[in-house]
Amino acid sequence: MTTTYPFEADSVDDALTAVGTPAVRIDGLDKISGAAQFVDDLDFGPDLLHGAVVESPHAYARIVSIDTSAAEAAPGVVKVITGEDFPYNFGMYMEDRYIFAQHHVRFVGEQVAGVIARTHRQAVRAAKLVEVEYEVLEPLLDPKEAVAEDAPLIHPNLGDYAHVPWFFPKADTNIAHWRKIRKGDTEKAFAEADYVLEDTYRVPRYAHCAIEPHVTVGKLDHAGRLTVWTASQSPHTQRHLFAEALAPLGFAHKDVRVITPYVGGGFGGKAGVSMEIIGAAMATAVKGHPVKLRFTREQEFYNTYQRQGVVAELKVGVMNNGTITAVEHKLYWDAGAYVEYGANVVNAAGLSATGPYRVPNISNDSLCVYTNLPPGGPYRGFGYSEFHFGLESHMDRIAEAIGMDPVDFRRKNAIVEGDELSYGGHMNPSGMIEAIDKTAAAIEWGVDEESKNPNTIMGKGVALFWKAPAMPPNASSASFLKFNEDGSVNVSVSGMELGQGYLTVMAQIAAEILGLPVEMVRVETPDTDRNPYEWQTVASHVTWSSGLAVEKAAIEARAKIFEVIHEVYGFEDETLYLEDQKVKCTTDPEFAKPLREFVIDGIQTDDGTWRGGPIIASGKFMPEFTNANSDPETGQGGHPNVHYTVGACGVLIEIDKETGRIWVRKAALAVDAGKAINPDLVKGQITGGLVQGLATVLYEDMRFDDDGRLMNPNFTDYKIPTSFDIPDEMIPIIVEVPQPDGPFGARGVGEHTMIAAAPVIANAVYNALGVRIKSMPITQEKIALAVTDRHHN
């Protein structure tokens, strides 16, 4: 072990009663009974106003004039606002974004003005009456064209934007950030390699498609307090960005409040701030009234974050014995019109673009390129799904070229604990080898399957994955914990229940330490006024980070309980433990003090006075071993990532040789959860992530026309999986090699489960048909045409 972890959590105990059990979700009843409230379900009374957005029809244009007079005169209209009212820029990691377009529009659908009216219908009708005159400019839609020397600039003032210190924008280009990794000597390694394979892979844009669209309700009350209800993964980060973006209006953080009830799915799309800033700005324009802005499904597609496209140029060198000696990976990201969040996707990918392999010589270039398409941003997998497609396709091709079994090739090169990472740090403990072996066994790797149907053929594929949380080095989590009269507990945190089961997992951690049944712990969705800080619910980090904060709060509460027992009864702390909602003592088997008897009222002593009182506690966690100060030219010197989660995926597919249709007959996915706090929920992440990932490779695809307009902003033509589009059999495999600094050894798994899905299909298609498809998605059409073309040639 070369990484030292300053904080070591409680060691994993065999006698766990809450952690490690498939506890029933604490939000299950709410969600199944119709009781669960999402933002759009909250009632705001008769003075609720409704917002609608005026959008750019052009991918790139100069705004010549905006005439709002007809809209202002329309029935029910209360206010029309434009960029002139909010001449501010803001952003998550780079302040390149505007509340409403300023002088230019940079993608089709960009917000140019907002209309606020008494009814939703009135707002939508009036929005059509806002007249905007544009001078249309030639859009840049391809990242390779946008990085060309003479390309027009999408953000001429890129050099002026404030940004985090680990971004390296190139002023007077369209490159908003360029993450470089240089390690060893790739030139020499390629010259000495026995075999070198070089190729280009293409990945288009994808949409999150949470079934709940973005909704924001903002209210600036007459006392000047701004409350914003959002469907968000990031209440505190939103509060911060609202306060910063609207600072010229005089807001302090304490006067901005974000409330997030249940969220109907996020997948990264509800992280940071996207349309919420429009809702917040609208609220400031109609003091005293709540105003609701709910995006339509179409807007959801074209004006919230999208997963960025990428052109990946990959070169890998190996020796005949199968050892990988060098990787050169150039990633040209189609980051869209604003990259305030998306640039960090580019950064994360650049840091890890070797994949989960031991590679001595590395040259990675990950370029964040502005284009006139909607803003890219976080999406489950955060850049890793994108580069794994090419990388894991490439690994299969290399194995074949040097005559090695693809599983053996991966096992030989897989990164293991202590191996050096591309930026110089060292790999954390991981169960990669176990994951590979169990996955291979689950799909009976090496056993050929014959199809009984003459029209179809079977194929198998494997792929590995890894991913680290991508966060600022000091991203933190906090928790409050308080006991109630009956010995039940309320835990306050600000991570979001996006469906992953976060509230349940936090309850299990608290219950475990406090000797409670999980049902005795209540964890609610946050309100930034009352719940303590959480950076965001992204990066698959909350089980780990927020879990540590809850663990610490529970440990503190336990210490306070023992303190009062010690004070009254004299037992030493080390002899006390919590079990069955009681304090017990190892030295006195008779002693069993129910928590409910004293956690609020305290314990009466012999003289009739009382000791103790309400048991309350807090906990916080911030990684204190990370830093992002690496050399811009080599990427060496920092410790940007806290740890990696790894795993493997394998599939058995059946393909119709004529139509190209693919059926996934079996899919196995092994992920190293460190410790599965709730194995049922980990399995839920595996099945959900797998199906989401398989869709990206089989049929999902954002299709833009030559003018940069999204042609399929709906589920009619952007197909997401239905109940028919799942593997016949899914085999979730949980590997548990503990993360030394994780709560009970846990690390995150939420995003990881979709990362390997694309290459595993590409590899299985090749295995079946001998056809290598290098651009996603691998639709049935692409397969059918490739097969028949091959026959014709």
Partner 1 sequence: MIAHEFAYERPTTLEEATRVLTEHSGSVRLLAGGTDLVAWLRDDAVAPDLVVDIKAIPGLDTIELDGDELHVGSLVTFTDLIESEVVAEHAPLLIEMAETVASPGIRNRATMVGNICSAVPSCDAGPVLMAYDTTVHLIGPGGARSVSIDDWFIGLRETACSDDEVVTHLTLALRPHGGVYVKLMRYGGEDLAQAAVGIVEYPGHEYRVAFGAVAPTPIRAHRIEEVLRGKPLGEEVIADAVALVRDEISPITDMRATAEYRARMCEVMLERGLAASHERLEGAGPAYGTRLI
Partner 2 sequence: MELSLNVNNEEWALDVAPADVLLDVLRERVGTKSPKIGCERGDCGSCTILIDGRSVRSCLVLAVEAEGHEITTVEGIGADHLSELQNLFISNNSFQCGFCAPGIVLSATELLARNPSPSRHDVQEALSGNLCRCTGYEPIIEAVLAAGERNEEVSA
**Closest alpha carbon to 268 in 111, 431, 467:** 467
Q: What are phi and psi of 188, to 5 degrees?
A: -65, -45
Q: Which does 692 bind (CB under 5 to 8 A by kind): ligand FES, partner 2, partner 1, none?
A: partner 2
Q: What share of the chain is helix, strand, coil (3-state, %, to 5)?
A: 30, 25, 45
Site for ligand FES in 488-507 (CB under 6 A): 499
The residues, ordered by sequence, that sit 6+ positions from 724 with a Cβ below 8 Å of its Cβ are none
Smallest distance from partner 2 to CB 678, Å = 8
Kindly report the number of other CB atoms within 10 A of residue 48's CB atom: 17
Q: Which does 779 bind (CB under 5 to 8 A by kind): partner 1, partner 2, ligand FES, none?
A: partner 1
Q: At 779, list the tokens.
A: 């639709």
d(CA 791, CA 783): 12
In the list 265, 602, 613, 740, the residue contacting ligand FES (rule: CB under 6 A) is 265
d(CA 33, CA 27): 10
Q: At 230, list the tokens.
A: 């959002």
Smallest distance from ligand FES to CB 350, Å = 32
d(CA 788, CA 777): 18
In the list 5, 38, 569, 663, the residue contacting partner 2 (rule: CB under 8 A) is 38
Smallest distance from ligand FES to CB 185, Å = 49
Q: Cis bond leading into 777, ω under 30°?
A: yes
The residues, ordered by sequence, that sit 6+ positions from 337 with a Cβ below 8 Å of its Cβ are 106, 107, 110, 154, 370, 371, 372, 373, 374, 375
Smallest distance from ligand FES to CB 774, Å = 32
609 contacts partner 1 (rule: CB under 8 A): no
724 contacts partner 1 (rule: CB under 8 A): yes
d(CA 174, CA 170): 7
Q: Which residue lies nearer to ligand FES by CB, 296 or 451?
A: 296
Site for partner 1 in 682-711 (CB under 8 A): 698-699, 703, 711
722 contacts partner 1 (rule: CB under 8 A): yes
Let me know how long the chain is.
793
Please check whether residue 505 is in contact with residue 547, taking contact to mean a CB–CB distance below 8 angstroms: yes
Q: Which does 530 bind (CB under 5 to 8 A by kind): partner 2, ligand FES, partner 1, none?
A: none
Smallest distance from ligand FES to CB 499, Å = 5
d(CA 680, CA 732): 10
> End-to-end CA distance of the chain, in Å?
55
Question: Please, which residues bridge with residue 50 across strands?
Answer: 117, 292
Smallest distance from partner 2 to CB 41, Å = 4
Q: Which residue lies nearer to partner 2 by CB, 107 or 301?
A: 301
Site for ligand FES in 207-226 (CB under 6 A): 211
Closest residue to bound ligand FES by CB: 211
d(CA 409, CA 386): 22
Smallest distance from partner 2 to CB 732, Å = 9
Phi-psi map region of 567: left, alpha, beta (phi>0 left; psi -120 to 50 alpha): alpha
Pairing mode, strands 662-672 and 729-735: parallel
In the list 545, 630, 753, 779, the residue contacting partner 1 (rule: CB under 8 A) is 779
25 contacts partner 2 (rule: CB under 8 A): yes
Per DSSP, the residues of 309-358 read EEEEEEEEEE-TTS-EEEEEEEEEEEEES--TTHHHHHHHHHHHTT-SB-
Smallest distance from partner 2 to CB 694, Å = 9
Site for partner 1 in 640-659 (CB under 8 A): 656, 658-659
In the list 1, 2, 7, 31, the residue contacting partner 2 (rule: CB under 8 A) is 31
The residues, ordered by sequence, that sit 6+ positions from 37 with a Cβ below 8 Å of its Cβ are 261, 262
267 contacts partner 2 (rule: CB under 8 A): yes
Q: Which residue lies nearer to partner 2 by CB, 499 or 674?
A: 499
Smallest distance from partner 1 to CB 296, Å = 9
Degrees to nearest 5, angle at CA 359 with 354 and 364: 40
Smallest distance from partner 1 to CB 699, Å = 5
**Closest alpha carbon to 52 in 352, 310, 279:** 279
d(CA 387, CA 382): 10
d(CA 209, CA 697): 15
Site for partner 2 in 660-699 (CB under 8 A): 680-681, 684, 687-692
Smallest distance from ligand FES to CB 600, Å = 37
Phi-psi map region of 707: left, alpha, beta (phi>0 left; psi -120 to 50 alpha): alpha
In the list 156, 221, 785, 790, the residue contacting partner 1 (rule: CB under 8 A) is 785
In the list 4, 65, 609, 723, the residue contacting partner 2 (rule: CB under 8 A) is 723
**Closest alpha carbon to 474 in 642, 343, 644, 623:** 623
Q: Which does 771 bind (CB under 5 to 8 A by kind): partner 2, partner 1, ligand FES, none?
A: none
Q: Which residue lies nearer to partner 1 by CB, 2 or 119?
A: 119
Q: What are phi and psi of 762, to 5 degrees?
A: -55, -40
Q: Which amino acid is at 439?
A: T
Smallest distance from partner 2 to CB 661, Å = 17
Q: Which residue lies nearer to ligand FES by CB, 267 or 341?
A: 267
244 contacts partner 2 (rule: CB under 8 A): no
Q: Which residue lies nearer to partner 2 by CB, 27 or 751?
A: 27
d(CA 665, CA 443): 10
E strand spans, 586-644: 592-594, 603-604, 610-611, 616-621
Smallest distance from ligand FES to CB 621, Å = 28
Smallest distance from partner 2 to CB 52, Å = 14
Q: Which does 620 bind (CB under 5 to 8 A by kind): ligand FES, partner 1, partner 2, none?
A: none
Site for ligand FES in 152-211 (CB under 6 A): 211
Smallest distance from partner 2 to CB 734, Å = 15
Q: Which does 691 bind (CB under 5 to 8 A by kind): partner 1, partner 2, ligand FES, none?
A: partner 2
Binding residues for partner 2, rule CB under 8 A, total 57
Please check whether residue 416 is in contact with residue 2, taking contact to mean a CB–CB distance below 8 angstroms: no
Site for ligand FES in 710-739 (CB under 6 A): none
301 contacts partner 1 (rule: CB under 8 A): no
Q: Which does 680 bind (CB under 5 to 8 A by kind): partner 1, partner 2, ligand FES, none?
A: partner 2
**Which three-class secondary structure string do you get for 395-433?**
HHHHHHHCCCCHHHHHHHHECCCCCECCCCCECCCCCHH
Query: 680: exposed, middle or buried (C-beta count within 10 Å: 0-12, 13-18, 19+)?
Result: middle
Q: Can you list the alpha helix ranges (DSSP code H) found in 443-541?
A: 502-514
In the list 248, 716, 791, 793, the residue contacting partner 1 (rule: CB under 8 A) is 716
717 contacts partner 1 (rule: CB under 8 A): yes
Smallest distance from partner 1 to CB 719, Å = 5
CA-based radius of gyration for the chain: 27
The interface region with partner 1, picked from 316-324, 350-358, 370-378, 777-785 by CB under 8 A, is 777-785
Site for partner 2 in 203-232 (CB under 8 A): 208-213
d(CA 718, CA 210): 13
Site for partner 1 in 107-146 (CB under 8 A): 120-121, 124-125
Q: Where does this chain bind ligand FES (CB under 6 A)?
A: 211, 265, 499
Q: Where does this chain bind partner 2 (CB under 8 A)?
A: 22, 24-25, 27-34, 36-38, 40-41, 43, 121, 208-213, 262-267, 294, 296-297, 497-501, 680-681, 684, 687-692, 714-716, 720-724, 726, 730
Q: Where does this chain bind partner 1 (CB under 8 A)?
A: 120-121, 124-125, 656, 658-659, 661, 663, 698-699, 703, 711-712, 716-717, 719, 721-725, 779-781, 784-785, 788
